[in-house]
Structure 1
């Protein structure tokens, strides 16, 4: 079974042993970040540094002329990934015998939201989420589509994995997060992730809802949750709080918006890519879910992309709706966190991977070769040798 390890350019550049070390894990591919959000990352084996602080979302290569004169444009990286950091790392990884695929983070950019607040999701109370660009806005959509095409199709890359190609909402690990005091549950998270920017208010209207009346209904629905009322139960919980017809109309608008963005972005990547270039989406099979693993309709997304990367650290059940589509040749990549300190279980990778295969997985993704300890990597190496 083909396995790929996620990697940052700063894991490789400046460390002459990094590429061979990653290849020695037994993986055949490196999924290398080319556009990534702000982060603070450990580099436990690097000869020059131990902590990398990427201060804002950035492209990890020199952006091209398509962005000249545009208000929304990608930010260059600072000293954490200077120059063509992606290209340098890709060359080293290819030299170690690995296929290189790009790893592109899209609708998740706090600096964009800070400098252009009008682009952000705005909740029913008027609070903006600067980390979450609203994917309904025409300018934001154009920016994301062009970023997808540019960041995905880098020299030497044989495919791409597009992360956060859909709605982002409230649930997000923001800097010094302190929002866990009230358990919102699945339904409350959905209601607090609904956007009420001008584009979304118009979209609700196109689906038969008065945006003002909807906003009042959402505030009324979520008010008991702030006082401790339960808001779980999946979509049935949303319908219980907001009502079936209103819930269905909001979901229709948001599903349509995400689907059309996914179609347009994948088409742009394919137009820029050579033949045989593989396009995967990080995905959750529940279309109303938000986040890095974008909520999708399984049948639709597998008709658009070559496959999906599905979070499986907590179990492989999310693979099933994709496998049930029976789409021949589709890549169903089970994504496992293999960093024990981040909640992963590298010691059970073999068993977890076998269960994922039973649920339909065709490939493995391992998060993350640069962040993992030596012990974690040894466990991964041993598991892959047995698979």
Structure 2
């Protein structure tokens, strides 16, 4: 299967051996970050540094001043890689080593935007804002995300793109100094905590025949047993229906699904228009439409009618892979199984060959390996051994 590894530009810029080292793993492609959220990352093999702190969501190239002139929402340029165009410099080196390069674009995940423009953020039923989660129902946010996707995806040398967080973001977030594990929510309660109550979403619920005030009260009532110590509710959509009631739950999902589909269709169309023919567009996705986050919930049939395929989270046991790959199997398009190969992040590079074979048996036709820049030397050696076999 065609195999790609994820990389940041700072893994390559300033390291003359990086591109050849990645090519030596036996992969054919690199998925290279062009727009990314804030992070703190190790660079264990870089000759000049060991830690990169990306202080805020940013683009890893110079944004087009004309495109963003006069707009309130605009991308932030990076300042932590010593390069005028970090993406282009890294992409050039990787292509020179014989690797295909595809861009990696994170969209609706931007804590700096939420801090500077709090009105753009998702607001939960208690009135708490999620500054990391721009509300995709807001017209100005949607317009920003569509233009960001077109600009960040279609960089010189990129032969395709992978779009992460192209949909709803919500409660779940790997935050600095997190202190939220005291109460186990489960995905059903997380869905309720991810429902947005900004003015645009309140109006959207009205279009579904719901009163936003009554819906907010219903969400808070449904969650009270969780806060009182009853434990996480039943998993899956059935758990949401038990918490909120089937009719009310269905109405909220109709609103959110319609918004997400509209964004995804607009984003993919904008990328295709900017790139021209032959440019591959994939979405990081999850087959459960109610889920939010980096791997956005989608309907498999719909998303494969819009994009060229999906990248699915497949780290874990056989059952976890079956749950995400099964709904997409046999539908055509690219079905890329994303496997973590960093032991310290829960990955298992030593079982990569078997995990990849299992994913292929479930319909996967490509592999994504997370993350060649973050992995230790022994982890990368295990990857190379698995791919050479």
Which range, TM-score by smaller chain?
A: over 0.9
TM-score norm. by structure 1 comes to 0.98
Paired position in structure 1 for 2:348: 345
d(CA) in 1 for partners of 2:300 and 2:207?
A: 25
Paired position in structure 2 for 1:22: 22
d(CA) in 2 for partners of 1:197 and 1:357?
A: 42
The number of aligned residues is 383
Q: CA deviation at 1:268?
A: 0.3
Equivalences for residues 83-122 of structure 1 within 5 A: 83-122=84-123
Q: Is the 8 A contact 2:52 2:80 kept in 1?
A: no
Residue number among 347, 353, 358 corresponding to 1:355 in the alignment: 358
Does 1:321 pair with 2:327?
yes
Q: Is the 8 A contact 2:73 2:141 kept in 1?
A: yes
Paired position in structure 2 for 1:331: 334
d(CA) in 2 for partners of 1:116 and 1:343?
A: 35
Paired position in structure 2 for 1:234: 236
Q: CA deviation at 1:194?
A: 0.3
Distance 1:170 1:47, change over 3 A: same
Paired position in structure 2 for 1:272: 274
d(CA) in 2 for partners of 1:99 and 1:191?
A: 41
Q: CA deviation at 1:235?
A: 0.9
Does 1:10 pair with 2:10?
yes
Equivalences for residues 286-297 of structure 1 within 5 A: 286-297=288-299
3-state DSSP of counterpart to 1:140:
helix
Equivalences for residues 1-387 of structure 1 within 5 A: 1-64=1-64, 65-80=66-81, 82-229=83-230, 230-314=232-316, 315-317=320-322, 318-323=324-329, 326-328=330-332, 330-386=333-389
d(CA) in 1 for partners of 2:47 and 2:235?
A: 49
d(CA) in 2 for partners of 1:353 and 1:38?
A: 30
Q: Which stretch shifts more, 79-88 or 94-103? A: 79-88
Deviations 1:252-278 (A, max 9, x none): 000111011000000000000031000
- Which 4+ residue blocks in structure 1 deviate beyond 3 angstroms? none
- List runs of 5+ in structure 1 lacking aligned partners: none
Deviations 1:132-156 (A, max 9, x none): 0000000000000000000000000
Deviations 1:189-248 (A, max 9, x none): 000000000000000000010001111111111111111223123111111111111100
Q: CA deviation at 1:327?
A: 2.9
3-state DSSP of counterpart to 2:72:
coil
Q: CA deviation at 1:82?
A: 3.8
3-state DSSP of counterpart to 2:290:
coil
Query: CA RMSD for the aligned pairs?
Result: 0.8
- List runs of 5+ in structure 2 lacking aligned partners: none
Q: CA deviation at 1:185?
A: 1.2
Q: Is the 8 A contact 2:2 2:27 kept in 1?
A: yes
Q: Is the 8 A contact 1:310 1:335 kept in 2?
A: yes
Deviations 1:296-316 (A, max 9, x none): 000000000000000000131
Q: Is the 8 A contact 1:183 1:228 kept in 2?
A: no
3-state DSSP of counterpart to 1:310:
strand
Deviations 1:322-369 (A, max 9, x none): 11xx333x0000000000011100000000000000111000000000
